[in-house]
Amino acid sequence: MDEIKIECILYAFDGLEHLPEDIKNLMHQAIEARKKAYAPYSNFQVGAALLLDNGKVITGSNQENASYPSGLCAERTAVYYAGSKYSDTKILKMAITAASKKGNTTEPTPPCGACRQAIVEYEVKQNQPIEIYFMGESGKVIKSNSLENLLPMVFNKSLL
């Protein structure tokens, strides 16, 4: 039996103010999007902002539903909008922020498993990695150079 070791390298910034200017701006747009979340059931608001290679920024927030599974995460709201409106445009960077009505969320909030699978589809489609930055409401910001880095042993079209 062989051991398989999978490495995931992430980068941590001490706070929003330590980010490069363009990412700080993208994260601020994610924060604005977060404030528009419709999250009356979880009281957990998430915002996402995508920078496209045409310079446009697409934002999304989580949209919940009384029938819980019918709701959608912020990341997928944004990514599916970008994929449908700008179908030939690459997604370059993504900023994510989450806040809870229960108190200040300082833990960086990564995309959930379903969102990782949804986002990686676009990395494969565009044949270019998407830089991901995620944070809570305040505190550290984590950077991943690609989505695939957050989803080892990815399932993608090469397996079909």
Residues marked active site are found at 75
- Residues 16-43 as b or e (16 or more Cβ within 10 Å = b): beebeeebbebbbbbbebbeebebeeee
Residue 82 CB, nearest approach to ligand THU (Å): 16
CA dist., res. 128 & res. 139, Å (int):
29
Among 24, 28, 44, 126, binds ligand THU (CB under 6 A): 44
Among 53, 71, 121, 139, binds ligand THU (CB under 6 A): 71
Q: Is 75 among the residues that bind ligand THU (CB under 6 A)? A: yes
CA dist., res. 81 & res. 78, Å (int):
5
Query: Interface with ligand THU by CB under 6 A: which range of 67-75, 87-95, 122-130, 135-143?
Result: 67-75
Q: Is 79 among the residues that bind ligand THU (CB under 6 A)? A: no
β-strand pairing of 44-52 with 91-100: antiparallel
Q: Is 81 among the residues that bind ligand THU (CB under 6 A)? A: no
Within 10 A of 156 (CB to CB), how many other CB atoms are there? Answer: 14
Q: Is 42 among the residues that bind ligand THU (CB under 6 A)? A: yes
CA dist., res. 137 & res. 142, Å (int):
13
- Residues 85-124, mask of contacts with ligand THU (x by CB under 6 A): --------------------------xx--x---------
Among 16, 64, 78, 150, binds ligand THU (CB under 6 A): 64
CA dist., res. 95 & res. 79, Å (int):
12
Cα–Cα–Cα angle for 30, 118, 81, rounded to 5 degrees: 55
Nearer to ligand THU, 39 or 51 (CB): 39
Which parts of this chain interact with ligand THU (CB under 6 A)?
39, 42, 44, 46, 62, 64, 71, 73-75, 111-112, 115
